[in-house]
Structures are given as structure tokens and as C-alpha cells.
Amino acid sequence: MNIYVLMKRTFDTEEKIALSGGKINEDGAEFIINPYDEYAIEEAIQVRDANGGEVTVISVGNEETEKQLRTALAMGADKAVLINIEDEIENGDQFTTAKILAEYLKDKDADLIIGGNVAIDNASGQVGPRVAELLTIPYVTTITKLEIDGTNVTVTRDVEGDAEVIETSLPLLVTAQQGLNEPRYPSLPGIMKAKKKPLEELELDDLDLEEEDVEAKTKTIEIYLPPKKEAGRVLTGDLNEQVQELVQLLHTEAKVI
Amino acid sequence: MNFDLTSEQEMIKRTLRQFADEVVAPGAIERDRTKRFPVEIFNQLAKMGVMGLPFPEKYGGGGADTISFAIVVEELSRVCGSTGITYSAHISLGGAPLFLFGTEEQKQTFLTPICTGESLGAFGLTEPNAGSDAGGTRTRAHEENGGFIINGNKCFITNASFAKHIAITAVTEVKDDKKEISAIIVPTNAKGFTVIDQYEKMGLNSSNTTELVLEDVRVPAQNLLGKRGEGFRQFLITLDGGRIGIGAMAVGIAQGAYEKALEYAKERKQFGKSISSFQAIQFKLADMAMKIELARNMVYKAAWLKDQGRPFSKEAAMCKLYASEICMEVTSQAVQIHGGYGYMKEYQVERMMRDAKLLEIGEGTSEVQRMVISRFIGC
Ligand SMILES: Cc1cc2nc3c(=O)[nH]c(=O)nc-3n(C[C@H](O)[C@H](O)[C@H](O)COP(=O)(O)OP(=O)(O)OC[C@H]3O[C@@H](n4cnc5c(N)ncnc54)[C@H](O)[C@@H]3O)c2cc1C
Ligand SMILES: Cc1cc2nc3c(=O)[nH]c(=O)nc-3n(C[C@H](O)[C@H](O)[C@H](O)COP(=O)(O)OP(=O)(O)OC[C@H]3O[C@@H](n4cnc5c(N)ncnc54)[C@H](O)[C@@H]3O)c2cc1C
């Protein structure tokens, strides 16, 4: 089975976000594999181990992304592809990323493409579905279970806490939700072998794409941090008094009623 | 000159840091209290292929270098000293002498189960009357009918309850009042071999520290490890490597205590401000950060020399001595920064302070390290 994983390098969620010059300051920040993409990598490895085939992890990123791709290789992926757009594209968006990925994937005969449900930085959840649209293959998002029998696939998807079971077939794109699996730690032999596994580096040129072809469809007007959360207030007194005070505060202070 | 870790070393550090935070840290206080050995952690480390880290792949090892070994010991020790010492002793006292002095057959038989994690590694040198003066060994091994009959006692031996076999030192002959000391591999299930796990320790409570009693224990002659009469020289070489492990453990415990203290200092408010805004606290934290950085550099240097195949005994003694002494200072200051809370188990740093003390004692006391260094500088 020919399996591809879409992977993004993102900020560590534990990282404190700082702005400078209207942009997120990346100096000294820790970068990680987008946690949802870790589920995708783990699932791809499990599917390969059960059905045979090969797992290729692709990332649209910059030179630094090699680190996260090597980690995916250490976990057990077979190959990695880095599409380095650092020098060509300053402000990409989900359209940009999806277009590039689809262009790469269009002649690869992928049976299964697995991405993360969202990237924890921009959290758009768009890249997976957009790639599937461009490749004209079916997709199922936020999956928590994947069963493959020949080309028939049964997927369980998380719908705001409920489960929805969908039957579909390969080729297919799915995006991983928390709960799909427990991503493994890279093993020591995996780590020692990661550098020797193939990692192909491509640029837009190699995909016959021009900058205009992938120009962002959106424009970022402003980036700002959410307002600091003020301390809450605990109302006291008996229940009636509390309700009265609350209603009054909603009128006079919050002015929402 | 290059201070960068290789991509493998960096990935090992990231992986083990994550593993330590997610798997090792959560039960550390509880294990310290109940003195329960963390078997499940070592099963997981075995599954990850970490138990044979620096040994060749043909014995089931990982083929990584000494710097990677130091990184793993540091990361485990950062959250749990007991897990750190268990791992360090497993590799550097248990596996290393087999790898360094064993025959091919001995490596296949005894090193392989250590690499796969089937057996923990252990090393029996210290005796009730032979500690710093390890040459004072009294355990005797008589040669008889192509085998050895061993009698004696060992004390403070790490990991023996979980080891399938253990290398011990014994006197194989006395010639003109001169003892001939040899190392012999003994299966722990041999008749007459008893492992006693009864110490009540100050710290490292969930690590396994044991007494060994050997009464007419018979092993075949091919269990002799290395050359007959070379036992003393061999364990000196073994301890050189072990000191890098203790140094790394010290860096790890100090790093863990420093991280806790820094975080606490930023949160704790007294006199209307975070205590981290007081210069008295800032200077403590600055000193901690500096000492840890220096100690880690020295550990890496000793490990690097070893990896280059260069002499590293002096540097190993220096890194062990310096790192263990600053670890004691750093952990004590970490408790201090926590005030009364630091004295409580819940805040972790008091355990780190208790665990740290062993580092100034095990694998050669601080005094012994100073003796080793003085010899190297020509005193
Ligand atoms: C938790 C733990 C785990 C251990 N694990 C192992 C293990 O796995 N295998 C093993 O073989 N051993 C192990 N040991 C033993 C350890 O290596 C010894 O405790 C250590 O070498 C010190 O020996 P000792 O306890 O007999 O102290 P002693 O040698 O009696 O020393 C007492 C004091 O005298 C000082 N001293 C001794 N001689 C001199 C001198 N010539 N000049 C100046 N000062 C001197 C020492 O520095 C020390 O301060 C372990 C010990 C502990 C506590
Ligand atoms: C076993 C035990 C028994 C105790 N018994 C009693 C008792 O019987 N009765 C009682 O009332 N209390 C008791 N205490 C409380 C004890 O007196 C306090 O823990 C102590 O005064 C420190 O206060 P703290 O723990 O809040 O630490 P903090 O005041 O938060 O101090 C934390 C750290 O910040 C430093 N620091 C604070 N302010 C400054 C500053 N301005 N400049 C520089 N450094 C600063 C401190 O020196 C310390 O290193 C006891 C505590 C313990 C652990």
C-alpha cells in the first residue's frame, strides 16, 4: 500500500507566544511535529505494518523542517519529502500548502493519505480536505478509527464527541483526531537509522509551479494576542441574592442584557 | 572545536526528555515513598532499544556513543534519580566490563540479555571491609576441578535483584602476601548465592541496592572475565566509564532541581512580588545555571574523549567530582528557594537533595576522585 502522511512543523504548545513587529517571534522557540500529525504518522506505520507497502512523510516547510521529518523517519516512516518554499514564498496560506501538496501527490498513485485534523498553530483544518478536493478523492476528517479490508475502508469519525461510522474506499484521505492511536516514541535503532533513510528535498520549480500559482488567497491584516484574562468574581450570599446580583451586573456592568 | 550535538544525539535527547516527562516523572514521589522498583519503565526502555545503547548491534545493542549514554542518564535522572542510577549502573557497571573484557562467547551469552533488557546489569566490587580501598577484597575464589568455588560478601550492589548474572571481584590467589584479584561472572541463581534487598537508604529509594552472600558458589572456569589477576586493573577501567554516568546523573538531578526552583521562584509571591525579582534569589538561580552548564560541559568532554579512544580517566574523575558536588549545592539551594514547601515531599526538590548525596560517595568518593586527579597532575 502506498501511504502518504502530511506533516507540519509547528510551535511547541507549551511555548509562550510573543509578538514582534506584527509577527509571531520564533526566536528560541521549540518546534515540534504538529501533535495531530503524530497520530497520522503512527496510523500510517500501523497500516503499513498490517498491509505492507511504504510510508512517505511530506512536509511543506523550510530547511529546519528536516528535523521533524527525521523524527518521523525514526518513528518508522520509510521516506521523507521536504518541499522547501522558504526562499520563494513569504506569506502562504492553506491554499498555498494544499496546492503544493496536491501538485506533488497528483502522479503518486497514493492509496491512503493521512494528515492531522488541524495544525495547532493556525488551526484551520483546511489543508487535508483541500488536498483531497484537488486530487478528486474522497476524504473523512477527525477520524478516531480506521479499518481497511482490501479497498474497503470503515472509518469512525469524531463528531463533537459522538461517533459517526462511515464506509468508503481507497484511494482516500483522512485526518487524524486525538484518540486514533498512541504515537510511539522513536526507538534507538530507529533514531540511529533515520539519517540513512531517503529524504528528498524539492522546490517549487521541481513541481513546475510558479509563485503566482500558489499565491495566498487570504491576507493577514493584523496579529494580536488575546486580552489578558481578568480574575473572575465569585458572588456570595444565598442563591436568590446571587441571582439578583448577577442579573444586575449583566445589565449594568457587562451591559449584555 | 564543535559544541553541537549530532542529529542522533539531539533526537535521543528530545525523545528521552519527552519519555522522562511523560512516563518517568509522574510516579517519582510515590516510588520514593513506597521504594517500589520501576520495572515497567525499564520494560518500556527495553522496547525502545535503549537498554543496550552503547554496545554493538550484534549483541542487540544500539551502537550509540558515550555522549548519547550521558544524555539518556541525564534525562532520566532529571525527573527520577533512582531510574537514573539503575540505568547508569546497568550500562556502565553491568554491560561495560563484559563488553570490554569478555570473550566473544561471554559477550553472546551475558551481554546480549543485558542489551535486550532481559537482565539488568550489575557489578559486585564493594565489600564490607573494602570500599574506597577496593584492593582490600576478601571474597575468595578457589580453583578446583576446572572451576571456581567462591566464598564471600559484597555490599551496596546496585541492580542485583534484577540481574541474571553479575560480575564480581574475588581473590584467586595469594602469593608472597600479594593478592591476585580476578573478575568472575556469577549467575545469580547459582546454588549458594543469596541477594539480600534490605537496606533502608537516605535516597534513591526506588533503586535496588543489595548485599550479596556467596557460600561455596561454583562456576565453571570459562566464567573468568578477562585475564586472571587483572581484576583490579579491569575494575579501575570500568569505574572510569562509570564516573561519566555518575557525572551525567548529577547534571540531570541538578537540572531537574534548577528547573523546579526557577518555575517556583517566578510563581511564588512574597512582599507583593515574585521572589524571582529579588536579587538574592536571582543570584542563586544564576549560580545554579552556571554550575550545571559547566558540569555538563565536563561530562560531555570526558564522554567525547572516551568516544575518540583517547585517555579520559582524569576528565572522568573531574566531571564526576565537580558534577556531584555542584549537584549537592544546587539541590540544597533549590530546597532553599522553595522555603518551607521545599521541605515537603510534594515539591520534589527534597527528594532530589537526598538522591544527590550518593553521587559524592558511589563509584569513588569525592576524596578518591581528588586522589585520582592529584595523581594525574603529578603530585
Ligand atoms: C546506593 C549505593 C549504590 C552502590 N552501588 C554499588 C555497586 O553497584 N557496586 C559496587 O561495587 N559498589 C557500589 N556501591 C558502593 C560504593 O562504591 C562505596 O560505598 C564507595 O566506594 C565508598 O566505599 P565505603 O562505603 O566503604 O566507604 P569508605 O571507603 O569506608 O570511606 C569512608 C570515608 O573515608 C574516606 N576515605 C577512604 N579512604 C580515604 C583515603 N585514602 N584518603 C582520604 N579519605 C579516604 C572516604 O572518602 C569516605 O569519606 C554503592 C553504594 C551505595 C551507597
Ligand atoms: C517543618 C516546618 C515547621 C514549621 N513550623 C512553623 C511553626 O511552628 N509556626 C509557624 O508560624 N511557621 C512554621 N513554619 C513555617 C516557616 O517559618 C516558613 O516556612 C519560613 O518562614 C519560610 O516561609 P515560606 O515557606 O513561605 O517561604 P517564602 O517566604 O516563600 O520563601 C521562599 C524563598 O524566598 C526567599 N525570600 C523571600 N522573601 C525574600 C526577600 N525579600 N529577599 C530575598 N529572598 C526572599 C526565602 O529566603 C526563601 O529562600 C514551619 C516550616 C516547616 C518546614
Do B186 and B285 fall within a single domain?
no
Give the SS3 label for residue A51. Answer: helix
- How many angstroms is it from B127 CA to the middle of ligand 1? 9
Read off the CATH number of the domain in which A95 is found.
3.40.50.620
Give yes or no for B33 touching A (CB within 8 A). no
Read off the CATH number of the domain in which B165 is found.
2.40.110.10
Do A114 and A232 fall within a single domain?
no
d(C-alpha B238, C-alpha B225), whole Å = 13
- Is there an atom of ligand 2 within 6 Å of B281 CB? yes
Q: What is the ipTM of this complex?
A: 0.91
B244 lies in some domain: yes
Beta-carbon count within 10 A of A12 CB: 12
A190 lies in some domain: yes
A220 lies in some domain: no
Read off the CATH number of the domain in which B71 is found.
1.10.540.10
User: Mean pLDDT across the stretch B64-92?
Assistant: 98
B353 lies in some domain: yes
Give yes or no for B117 touching A (CB within 8 A). no
Residues sharing a CB contact under 8 Å with residue A21, sequence separation 6 or more, in sequence order? none
Evaluate whether A246 touches A238 at the Cβ level (below 8 Å).
no
* pLDDT for the residue numbered B153: 97
- Is there an atom of ligand 2 within 6 Å of B268 CB? yes
CB contact under 8 A, B11 and A185: no
Do A125 and A233 fall within a single domain?
no
B1 lies in some domain: no
Picking from B207, B230, B253, the residue at the C-terminal end of a domain is B230
Give yes or no for B49 touching A (CB within 8 A). yes
Please choose, from the candidates B154, B149, B156, B147, the residue with its C-alpha nearest in 3D space to the C-alpha of residue B168.
B154
Give yes or no for A232 touching B (CB within 8 A). no
Do A121 and A35 fall within a single domain?
yes
* Residue A14 pLDDT > 80: no
Report the nearest-CA residue for atom 18 of ligand 2.
Answer: B340
Burial of A249 (0-12, 13-18, 19+ CB in 10 A): middle
d(C-alpha B190, C-alpha B198), whole Å = 20
Do A169 and A231 fall within a single domain?
no
Do B210 and B159 fall within a single domain?
yes
* pLDDT for the residue numbered B324: 98
Do B226 and B237 fall within a single domain?
no
CB contact under 8 A, A192 and B15: no
Evaluate whether B158 touches B211 at the Cβ level (below 8 Å).
no
Over the stretch B204-260, which tens digit does the pLDDT of each residue have? Answer: 999 999 999 999 999 999 999 999 999 989 999 999 999 999 999 999 999 999 999
Q: How confident is the model at residue B286 (pLDDT cuts 50, 70, 90)?
A: very high
Burial of B20 (0-12, 13-18, 19+ CB in 10 A): buried
Q: How confident is the model at residue A200 (pLDDT cuts 50, 70, 90)?
A: very high
Do A199 and A231 fall within a single domain?
no
B94 lies in some domain: yes
* pLDDT for the residue numbered B88: 98
Q: Which percentage of chain B shows pLDDT scores above 90?
A: 98
Least confident of A27-31, B125-129, B305-309: A27-31
Domain count, chain B: 3
* Residue A141 pLDDT > 80: yes
* Residue A18 pLDDT > 90: no
Beta-carbon count within 10 A of B329 CB: 15
Over the stretch B128-142, which tens digit does the pLDDT of each residue have? Answer: 999 999 989 999 999
Please choose, from the candidates B252, B322, B326, B245, the residue with its C-alpha nearest in 3D space to the C-alpha of residue B284.
B326
A123 lies in some domain: yes
* Residue A176 pLDDT > 90: yes
Peptide bond into A171 cis (omega under 30): yes
- What's the gap between Cα B273 and its chain centre? 41
Do A151 and A241 fall within a single domain?
no
Picking from B116, B139, B174, the residue at the C-terminal end of a domain is B116
Do A128 and A63 fall within a single domain?
yes
Ligand 2 nearest atom to the CA of residue B338, by list position:
32
Picking from B116, B136, B162, the residue at the C-terminal end of a domain is B116
Query: Residue B76 belongs to what domain range?
Result: 7-116
Do B221 and B336 fall within a single domain?
no
What are the angstrom distances between the C-alpha of B306 and each of B75, B245, B309?
20, 12, 5
* pLDDT for the residue numbered B373: 98
* pLDDT for the residue numbered B268: 97
Whole-number average pLDDT of chain B: 97
Residues sharing a CB contact under 8 Å with residue B270, sequence separation 6 or more, in sequence order? none
* Nearest-by-Cβ selection for A192 from B10, B18, B64: B64
Nearest ligand to the CA of B235 is: 1
Q: How confident is the model at residue A29 (pLDDT cuts 50, 70, 90)?
A: confident
Over the stretch B167-199, which tens digit does the pLDDT of each residue have? Answer: 999 999 998 888 999 999 999 999 999 999 999
Q: Ligand 1: residues within 6 Å at CB? A: B 89, 93, 123-126, 131-132, 156-158, 204, 209, 358, 361-365, 367-368
User: Mean pLDDT across the stretch A213-231?
Assistant: 88
More confident residue, B229 or A17: B229
* pLDDT for the residue numbered A229: 82
- How many angstroms is it from B356 CA to the middle of ligand 2? 23
Do B70 and B131 fall within a single domain?
no
* Residue B378 pLDDT > 90: yes
Do B241 and B352 fall within a single domain?
yes
Do A257 and A195 fall within a single domain?
no
A221 lies in some domain: no
Give yes or no for A186 touching B (CB within 8 A). yes
Over the stretch A121-134, which tens digit does the pLDDT of each residue have? Answer: 888 999 999 999 99
Do A58 and A163 fall within a single domain?
yes
Helix and strand counts by DSSP (H, E) for chain A: 6, 13
A83 lies in some domain: yes
B330 lies in some domain: yes
Residue of B nearest to A187 (CA): B48
Do B171 and B303 fall within a single domain?
no
- For chains A and B, what is the number of CB pairs under 8 angstroms? 42
- Is there an atom of ligand 2 within 6 Å of B272 CB? no
Query: Residue A255 belongs to what domain range?
Result: 227-257
Give yes or no for B286 touching A (CB within 8 A). no
Q: Which percentage of chain A shows pLDDT scores above 90?
A: 78
Ligand 1 nearest atom to the CA of residue B89, by list position:
8
Read off the CATH number of the domain in which B259 is found.
1.20.140.10
- How many angstroms is it from B342 CA to the middle of ligand 2? 10
Beta-carbon count within 10 A of B192 CB: 14
* pLDDT for the residue numbered A121: 87
Do A132 and A235 fall within a single domain?
no
Whole-number average pLDDT of chain A: 93
CB contact under 8 A, B11 and A188: no
- Write out the catalytic residue numbers of B: 363
Do B151 and B87 fall within a single domain?
no
Do B143 and B183 fall within a single domain?
yes
Do A153 and A249 fall within a single domain?
no
Do B244 and B309 fall within a single domain?
yes
Do B129 and B96 fall within a single domain?
no
A222 lies in some domain: no
Do B247 and B202 fall within a single domain?
no
The model carries a pTM of: 0.93
Please choose, from the candidates B31, B120, B10, the residue with its C-alpha nearest in 3D space to the C-alpha of residue B81.
B31
Do A136 and A210 fall within a single domain?
yes
d(C-alpha B31, C-alpha B204), whole Å = 10
Domain count, chain A: 2
